[in-house]
Amino acid sequence: MGRAAAVAEPVDEVKEDDGLAGEPWKTVLFNCDCHTFDEVERVVIAATRCSIARARQISFEVDARGSAVVCEGPRARCETVAEALGSIGLRVKVAR
């Protein structure tokens, strides 16, 4: 079987604002086969200050569905969480 070509994540058009008005922003984590459950759970806990139970729920959802919302709220917080997750090479997106 041939190698699948890499697919870039679609980029949502982002309007400049303070991130506080309208719908909340979301940090979405995407599945990849290059990280273990433990690695993902550790960085999710560090980035969001959630419990190990919540981090496991997120890691299993990402594995089963291909993505999961890790954080919802103001744009700045979602971007901070995305940066922390991305620091170990996880694929993330911040969107509304």
Going from N- to C-terminal start, the domains of the chain cover: 33-95
Three-state DSSP class for 4? coil
DSSP 8: P
Other residues' Cβ atoms within 10 Å of the Cβ of residue 73:
14
Closest CA to 68 of 41, 49, 89, 87: 41
Average pLDDT over the chain, rounded to whole? Answer: 85
Instruction: Confirm if 46 and 87 have CB atoms less than 8 A apart.
Output: no
What's the pTM value of the predicted model, to 2 decimals? 0.77
Structure confidence at residue 9 (pLDDT): 45
Query: For residue 33, what pLDDT is reported?
Result: 87
Tokens for 4? 């699948």
- Collapse the DSSP code of 91 into the 3-class scheme (helix H, G, I; strand E, B; otherwise coil) and give the result: strand
